[in-house]
Structure 1
Amino acid sequence: MTQTTTRVLEPSDLDAALAILESEPVANAFVTSRVQVAGLDPWRLGGEMWGWYADGRLRSLCYSGANLVPICAGPEAVRAFADRARRAGRRCSSIVGPADPTALLWRHLEPSWGPAREVRPQQPLMVTESPSADVVPDPLVRRIRKDETEALMPACVAMFTEEVGVSPLAGDGGLLYQARVAELIGAGRSFARIDDGKVVFKAEIGAATPQACQIQGVWVAPEHRGKGLSETGMAAVLRYALADVAPIVSLYVNDYNTPARKAYRRVGFREVGAFMSVLF
């Protein structure tokens, strides 16, 4: 009979954890990028990494921080992670990850953690290794400089509020969110087109590893929508990402956002799976 156990991983478990994370470089890009920088120390990582063991071997992970993220987790591991999360109580603002294990995790947790503010059960995961020749990158989309942070912030806040449904300025007055925006700008992973001092398109490379990176925060100013800026802007960001960051670029999008899915396909992305998000 298989013996299983679950525990919080320690810095000495780093190699084993990275082996699991890097087995699915696209799906795990967000957590992998954090672990590669911060290791497994909870303070530096911003949360705990739980490990599920079968017969003494580490098989699955679950990141428990601002997000709860199941990683390479089958039904038994998901059940064990749900039991641990239930005992600890909800500390995260969302559950997010590959659709199947995330859906199962939510089914286990909903009776004690629910109701959620919103559930997005199917968010297509899209990837590309090369840009489409059909869309010419917008030459005015460029990296944002540190001295342009203040000019970019209103667009970032508008995007977040539109996408998540709450303002990132709530709670701590936006200090954490502003720090994250500044971090991405400082890393050279924030891009925008600014016309007459106003952002008309923006996007970031939010997670980055040597194997894969993930574009996030795509936004077009409302008065400029329908002009193809999302396609030409994304083509420009994709060019930067493939040249400077990683050989595989990914993103995930809400299934009901048909215009965005069509635009991303035109730029060269294809759907390879699905994520799910539970927002609190």
Structure 2
Amino acid sequence: MLSRVAPWLASRRDGAGAAAGTTVRVLTGSDTGALLDLARQDAVANVFILSHLETAGTASPTAGGASIFGVFDGDALLGACWAGANLVPVQLDPDLASVVAGAAHRSGRRYASIFGPSGTVLALHAALERLGHSAQEIRADQPLLTIDGPPDIEPNPALGFGQLADFDRILPACAAMFEEEVGYSPYLGGRDYYSRRVKGLIRAGHSLVHLGTDGEVVFKAELGAVTPEVTQVQGVWMNPAYRGLGLSAGYMAAVVLHAQTLAPVTSLYVNDFNTRARASYERVGFHQVGTFATVLF
């Protein structure tokens, strides 16, 4: 298993783009300031790790076993990568991706996905593939979108924050969205873990939902990562019974208004082939600021 502190010397075998003497190790609490400085170079692309640091207050490994790899040249932190259920690069140059992939491979962990800036994600995947990690699906072109002002269309006033009293209605909608998006049930690893995740979002005020007159979820979304500067919208889902009625843009405009009570910039990323969603986001006023990719294992 991976040592929490021992650095590995990056070799040409691990990464042709890594300079001789580059090291990679698991970050500790003493690295928190350097990681914050690194992530703040792009607060939109790095909202996931910034949100984690906002909550945890430290770069140290979590009680659940997640850690953060840092790539160093001497004492200088060049790039990083969250290594929990997923791999999430942080200002990591694609030339350094194979160094991190080697460390991730040696850790013995299994990762559900890699997501983040496209060039680095695809470089991480290529390096992991050489080490025997096969992907189930590669989504190489996911426009990263933001809006930092009022939405361009009227928001749907029916959208509000989810309540724990409605958890039994919200959870099935979240599970349906997850299965549509990734192709398998979120309960495969155990229903309890996913249920805690959904409850946590509701408790934090990061669940947005509209319940119809029959009590079923009509539309829902989550603010999956939140910092004082940026929120990232995830889990956007419309009940199939209400699709094709032109309702999505109004709901998304309402999502933006709610998100902007927490941070001035609202972000999300979307599959390039999802033309309906992209058109809806454009109507609301989102514009592209980058390109993400996701690799599903």
TM-score class, shorter: over 0.9
Q: Are the equivalent residues in 1 in contact too, given 2:82–2:89 (CA < 8 A)? A: yes
Partners of 1:176 and 1:192 in 2: how far apart? 21
State the match for 1:246 in structure 2: 263
Where do 1:147-226 residues align within 5 Å? 147-172=165-190, 174-196=191-213, 197-226=215-244
73-82 vs 101-110, which deviates more?
73-82
For 2:179, the aligned partner's letter is T
* Cα deviation, residue 110, structure 1: 0.9
Where do 1:99-178 residues align within 5 Å? 99-133=118-152, 135-172=153-190, 174-178=191-195
Residue identity (%):
43
The structure carrying a bigger helix percent of its residues is 1
State the match for 1:71 in structure 2: 90
Residues 124 and 177 of structure 1: is their aligned pair in 2 closer, same or farther, counting only changes over 3 Å? Answer: same
Q: Are the equivalent residues in 2 in contact too, given 1:6–1:50 (CA < 8 A)? A: yes
Matched residue of 1:170: which SS?
coil
* Cα deviation, residue 227, structure 1: 1.2
Unpaired runs of 5+ residues, structure 1, are: none
State the match for 1:56 in structure 2: 75
Q: Are the equivalent residues in 1 in contact too, given 2:147–2:266 (CA < 8 A)? A: yes
State the match for 1:256 in structure 2: 273
Do residues 236 (structure 1) and 251 (structure 2) align? no
Q: Are the equivalent residues in 1 in contact too, given 2:159–2:210 (CA < 8 A)? A: yes
For 1:13, the aligned partner's letter is D
Unpaired runs of 5+ residues, structure 2, are: 1-18
For 1:6, the aligned partner's letter is V
For 2:164, the aligned partner's letter is K
List structure 1 runs of 4+ shifted beyond 3 angstroms.
Answer: none
Q: Are the equivalent residues in 2 in contact too, given 1:231–1:267 (CA < 8 A)? A: yes
Q: Are the equivalent residues in 2 in contact too, given 1:34–1:45 (CA < 8 A)? A: no
Partners of 2:217 and 2:233 in 1: how far apart? 18
Where do 1:14-33 residues align within 5 Å? 14-33=32-51
Partners of 2:128 and 2:143 in 1: how far apart? 23
Partners of 1:41 and 1:35 in 2: how far apart? 10
For 2:265, the aligned partner's letter is I
Partners of 1:102 and 1:75 in 2: how far apart? 8
For 1:176, the aligned partner's letter is Y
Q: Are the equivalent residues in 1 in contact too, given 2:98–2:128 (CA < 8 A)? A: no
State the match for 2:106 in structure 1: 87
Matched residue of 2:42: which SS?
coil
State the match for 2:287 in structure 1: 270
Matched residue of 1:92: which SS?
coil
Partners of 1:165 and 1:131 in 2: how far apart? 34
Residues 220-247 of structure 1 show CA distances to partners (whole Å, capped at 9, x for unaligned) of 01110011221111111100111x2111
Residues 199 and 190 of structure 1: is their aligned pair in 2 closer, same or farther, counting only changes over 3 Å? Answer: same
For 2:115, the aligned partner's letter is V
Partners of 2:225 and 2:83 in 1: how far apart? 17
44-53 vs 160-169, which deviates more?
44-53
Partners of 2:128 and 2:208 in 1: how far apart? 37
Q: Are the equivalent residues in 1 in contact too, given 2:151–2:257 (CA < 8 A)? A: no
Matched residue of 1:192: which SS?
strand
* Cα deviation, residue 2, structure 1: 6.3
* Count of residue correspondences: 277
